[in-house]
Amino acid sequence: MNVSKILKVILSVMMLLVLIVTGVLTYQWINGQGDDNSASKQVSQKMNENETDESQKDEADKTEEKNDDHQNKDESKDNAIRNEDGEKNTLYDEVEVQMDVIDEHNIHASYQYPLFHDDDINKVILQFIKEQKMLFEQESTRMEKANQISTHNINFKLDKLSENLYTLVFENTMNVSGANGYVQYKTWIIDNKNYNVFTFNDFIINEPKAHDILYKVISAEIKKDKDKDFYVDYPTLKDYIQNNQLKAYPKGEKIVFNFNEYDVAAGALGAFSLEVSTEKIKDSLTDEGKVILIDQDLTQLTDKQLAQIKVNTPEHIDVPKTEEDHPYTEAPSSEETQQENGTKNSEKPTSQVEDKGVQKTKKIALTFDDGPNGSTTPHVLEILDKFNAKATFYMIGSKVKYNQNIVRQVHERGHQIGNHTMNHPDLTTLGQSQIKQEFDETNDLIHQAIGEKPSTFRPPYGSTNASVNQVTDMKPVLWTIDTEDWKSHDPQAILEVVKANHQDGGIVLMHDIHQTTVESLVDVLTFLSNEGYEFVTVDEVK
C-alpha cells in the first residue's frame, strides 16, 4: 500500500470521527435546550399556579371578611341588651322597642316601632314612621280647630316565625280635629339574617292564574261573614289583588289578610282582617314564597334565590340619624356620665354617692314614663342605686311585653311600677271598653313579670276624665314638675327646670327612654339630695 492511499484512509477516518463528535455535541445541545424549555415551562406553570392560589386566597379572604361582617353583626345581636349578669333584657335580642311622643297644643301623638341591629332594615321602618308623622302634621295643620284634639297612634305587633324570620304589623290610627278617624295596617316580613324586608306581594307569582286563586279564596272567606259580604265591592277586590296591594303575613298554618278602610269596601265597614289556610293559596306562591311563608325556613334558600325576590330595602333614604332613631348607640357608663357632667370620679364612690350629712327633711317622687327601654332603663336603675333613690316607672304594656327582665329588675330594686296603658292613646278619645282593654292588657303583662298588678296609673298626655276613672280601681297620678325632657333633649335644661320648680311632696315627670335624660340624672339627683330631699315612690310621697 503506497503512502498516498494510507493518508487518504487516515483522513477519511479523521473526518468520520469529526462528524461523530459533532453529531454527539449537537444532540447534547438540542437535549439541553429541551431541558431548559421544560424547566421554563415548569417555572411558568408554577407561577400560574401561585397566581391562581393567590387569587383563590384573595377570594377566600373576601368571603371570610364578608362572613366576619355577618358574624360581627350576629355577635353584636347576641351581646346586645343584656344586663350585668348576662341575662336577656328583651324578648328578642335582635330588637329594641322605640317610642316617640308628641304632646303639644291640641296634638297628642305616639309612635312605637321596633329597631333591629341593621341599618337597612331600620331605614325602611324609620321611613314609614317619618312619612306618617309628616302626613299627620299636614292634616292636623290643615284641619286645626280651636279646642279640638288631634290624635295619632302607631303601634305594632312583632312575631318571630323562626330563627331570623319575623312578621311585623303596624296599626296606624289617626283622628284629626274631631273628624272621623281611621285605622290603617302596614305589614312586612323581616329577614334578619340577610337583612331584607319583604311584603306578601313579593311572594306571589305575577300571573293572572295566581291572582285568580287568591281572589277566589279571599272572596269565599269574606262571604262567610254577612256584614263583610254586604259592604265589600268584589270588582275592587279583584283589582286590588291584581295590583299587588295585599297586606298579609303568615300566622301558623294560616295567612292573615289586613284591609284598610276604603281599600275594598265601603267606609262603614272600616278596617278589617281575615284568615285563610295557607294550603288554599299555596299554588299562587313562588317557590321562594312557599319556603318563607309555609316552611318558614330561610336556610333552604340560596343567596341567588333571595336576590331574585323583590326586596323592599331602599338604597337611598334620607333618615336623620338622631338619638331617637338609633337607640343602639351604647349608653355611656356612669363614669363617662360623671365626666360629661363635670363630676370627678373621686367625688363619687363606685357603690353609692357619699352622704354629705344633709338632713333629709323633704320628700320628692321621681317618675319615669314610656319605658322600659333596653338600652337606657338599666342605666337609670344603676344611677338610682348609687343615690339610694327609689322612683316610680309608668310602663307601656307593649314595651313590657318585649322587656320582661327589665320590669323584674325595676321591681326587685324596690321601685314602684305603674300602668301607662298598652299603646299610649289619649284615653279621653276612647270608649270605656277600649280604655279597659288598654289598662287590663298592661296589668296582665306586668303581673306576668313581677307577680302583682299596679295600684296606680298615669294617663298618657295627662289626659283623663270621669269616664276614664270609672273603668279602673287604680289611682290616677299626674305630676307637679314637667321637665319636658322629651322636648329639650338637653341635660342642662332638664336640671334647670328641676331647680326652678322643686317642692316638698313634688312629683317629677321624666322619661327613661331618652339618653339625654340618663345624662341629666346625676346632676338632678345631686342637686335634690343637697337640698335635703329623700327620693320616694308616688305612694310614699304624701
118, 191, 263, 369: the catalytic one is 369
The catalytically annotated residue of 117, 415, 511, 514 is 511
How many angstroms separate the CA atoms of 271 and 258, rounded? 8
The SS3 of residue 475 is strand
Tell me how far apart the alpha carbons of residues 267 and 449 are, in angstroms, rounded to a whole number.
40
Q: Is 180 left (phi over 0), alpha (psi -120 to 50) or beta?
A: beta
Phi, psi of 382 (to 5 degrees): -60, -45
Q: Give the integer Cα–Cα distance in Å for 521 and 527.
A: 10
Give me Rg for the CA atoms of the chain: 36
What values do phi and psi take at 6, rounded to 5? -60, -40
Q: Give the contacts of 296 (CB within 8 A, at least 6 positions apart).
A: 161, 162, 165, 250
**Residue 158 contacts residue 348 (beta carbons within 8 Å):** no
Distance CA 91, CA 397 (A): 13
Count of all residues that appear for the chain in the document: 542
Helix residue ranges per DSSP H, 368-506:
377-386, 397-402, 404-412, 432-450, 466-470, 485-488, 491-501
**Pair 340, 518: CB distance under 8 Å:** no
- Residue 511 annotated among the catalytic residues of the structure: yes
What is the set of active-site residues? 369, 511
